[in-house]
Amino acid sequence: MDNNTDNIKFIKVDNNTIININTIRWVQKMDECLAVCNKIEGCIVSRTTHKICKINNLDSYTILNKYFN
């Protein structure tokens, strides 16, 4: 059995949580933060989304923010 996890990438979101990039459904830009939904059934912004703020998680913010430029 091959245990290759090189293709799986994770990013850190606020509140010391790590999510798999492959599970992201949508991302919404909000000033200096991003709201990230990774639920199959969808999310309600600011209630069930993960937050990635530039000040807290610059690396994760940069990875996803490049799609907005």
User: What's the order of all strands across the beta sheet hosting 26-30?
Assistant: 26-30, 33-37, 50-53
Looking at residue 6, its pLDDT comes to 58
Exposure letters 46-68 (e unless 16+ CB within 10 A, then b): eeebbbbbeebbeebbeebbeee
**Predicted confidence band of residue 7 (pLDDT cuts 50, 70, 90):** low
Task: Flag whether pLDDT at 65 surpasses 90.
Answer: yes
51: part of which helix (H) or strand (E)?
strand 50-53
pLDDT digits (tens, 9 = 90+) for 15-59: 889 999 999 999 999 989 999 999 989 898 878 999 999 999 999
**Predicted confidence band of residue 1 (pLDDT cuts 50, 70, 90):** very low
Mean pLDDT in residue range 1-26: 81
Indicate left, alpha or beta for 58 from its phi (over 0: left) and psi (-120 to 50: alpha). Answer: alpha
